[in-house]
Amino acid sequence: MKPINVLIVGAGAIGGFYGALLAKAGAEVSVVCRSEFDLIKQSGYLIESRDLGDWHFMPHLVLRHPEDYPEQADYVVLCTKAIDVSENLELIRPAVSNNSAIVFIQNGVETEQAFIDAFPGNEIISGLAFICCNRIGPGQIAHLAYGRLALGSLTNTISPKAKQLGALFNAAGIECRITDDIIGARWQKCVWNAPFNPLSVLSGGLATQDILSTQDPLVRSIMQEVVAIASACGHPLPEDIIECNIANTRTMPPYKTSMLLDYEQGRPMETEAILGNTIRAARREDVPSPHLETLYALMKLRELKVAQSSNTH
């Protein structure tokens, strides 16, 4: 039987970890990785997982660019940061063939339509990762906690391809749920991301625990705005979603958000995917969102300051 071909684009901590799981389950997993190409080509990845143990992942092919992929990918899995969607679309285009399903495991809301418009003949699968994992050294990925995935096809209501991919993840020991409301699931994740990501950066680097223990009402106000926007967009969220998020965050270990890690390391932040798209949805649906508007404006100011500082260095 022909193996399942997977091409991972953006093989950092998230892409490397989920790629390693698919390989473990028997798929033929290749990766596009630019910054550590030589090292990964030679030695692959070392995965250190608290829950799943340690193992070595040697990709089938290690490529510098998607256009170097010589095969027909069953799945092109995009795991880059959600910084610039149109750039992402052009990045993967050369590796997408007629039968490829395009999977994006990324943060953010309202990025779906761009994928559907760019690849009208392909199945598009939207994925969300609930995971703490970090790159801890060259080719070294630590899986610290969680790991659950949600996948949903945007184009097919019954999707054998999404099911097949989910089965591989499950076989590798990670819970992967196939949902028919992946857009609602994105809004659910946004309920957490929209407050904690920007607050961690704007506070100057506080952990989630410190934010929540001192500014609980602000966190709730922001979450309420996201819930109202999601509802206006046709995705009413569970009634207890804010209480659940607050309770879960209280019991999480003190955690640096991904946006804070990006900020501290001078990388671009997912401001547009998480806040910008949320705000644009709010304006379109006429939902007042003063807390989110304030955070978004402040993040844009912060980005402007970063740009000024890097210009003068």
Instruction: Just list the catalytic residues.
Output: 189
Q: How far is Cα 7 from Cα 11, in angstroms, rounded to an integer?
A: 10
Kind of pairing between the strands at 75-78 and 123-137? unpaired
User: Which residue among 76, 199, 233, 237 contacts its own copies (CB under 8 A)?
Assistant: 199
Q: Which stretch binds its own copies (CB under 8 A): 41-49, 63-71, 117-125, 287-295?
A: 287-295
Q: Which stretch binds its own copies (CB under 8 A): 6-14, 27-35, 116-124, 214-222?
A: 214-222
Q: Is 209 in the site for its own copies (CB under 8 A)?
A: no
Site size for its own copies (CB under 8 A): 27
Judged by CB, which is closer to its own copies: 89, or 260?
A: 260
User: Does 121 sit near its own copies (CB under 8 A)?
Assistant: no
Q: In degrees rounded to 5, what are phi and psi of residue 180? A: -95, 5
From the list 105-113, 120-128, 181-189, 200-208, the region that binds its own copies by CB under 8 A is: 200-208
Distance CA 222, CA 294 (A): 10
When the beta carbons of 107 and 208 are compared against its own copies, the nearer one is: 208
3-state SS, one letter per residue, for the chain: CCCCEEEEECCCHHHHHHHHHHHHCCCEEEEECCCCHHHHHHHCEEEEECCCEEEEECCCCEECCHHHCCCCCCEEEECCCCCCHHHHHHHHHHHCCCCCEEEEECCCCCCHHHHHHHCCCCEEEEEEEEEEEEEEECCEEEEEEEEEEEEEECCCCCCHHHHHHHHHHHHCCCCEEECCCHHHHHHHHHHHHHHHHHHHHHCCCCCHHHHHHHHHHHHHHHHHHHHHHHHHCCCCCCCCHHHHHHHHHHHCCCCCCHHHHHHHCCCCCCHHHHHHHHHHHHHHHCCCCHHHHHHHHHHHHHHHHHHHHHHHC
Q: Would you count residue 203 as binding its own copies (CB under 8 A)? A: yes
Q: Which of 4, 185, 191, 295 binds its own copies (CB under 8 A)?
A: 295
Name the minimum Å distance from CB 215 to its own copies: 5
Q: Is 64 in the site for its own copies (CB under 8 A)?
A: no
- Window contacting its own copies (CB under 8 A); options: 61-69, 77-85, 94-102, 213-221: 213-221
Q: Smallest distance, Å, CB 114 to its own copies?
A: 25
Smallest distance from its own copies to CB 204, Å: 4
**Does 293 interact with its own copies (rule: CB under 8 A)?**
yes
214 near its own copies, judged by CB under 8 A: yes
CA atoms within 13 A of residue 289's CA, in its CB half-sphere: 30
Binder of its own copies out of 218, 228, 232, 244 (CB under 8 A) = 218
Please say which residue, 101 or 219, places its beta carbon nearer to its own copies.
219
246 touching its own copies, by CB under 8 A: no
- Are residues 259 and 200 in contact, defined by beta-carbon separation less than 8 angstroms? yes
294 near its own copies (CB under 8 A)? yes
Q: Which of 70, 121, 204, 254 binds its own copies (CB under 8 A)?
A: 204
Q: Report angle CA 233, 180, 131 to the nearest 5 degrees.
A: 90
Contact flag: residue 266 with its own copies (CB under 8 A): no
Is residue 58 involved in binding its own copies (CB under 8 A)? no
Per CB under 8 A, residues contacting its own copies are 199, 202-206, 210-211, 214-215, 217-218, 221, 290-291, 293-295, 297-298, 300-302, 304-306, 308
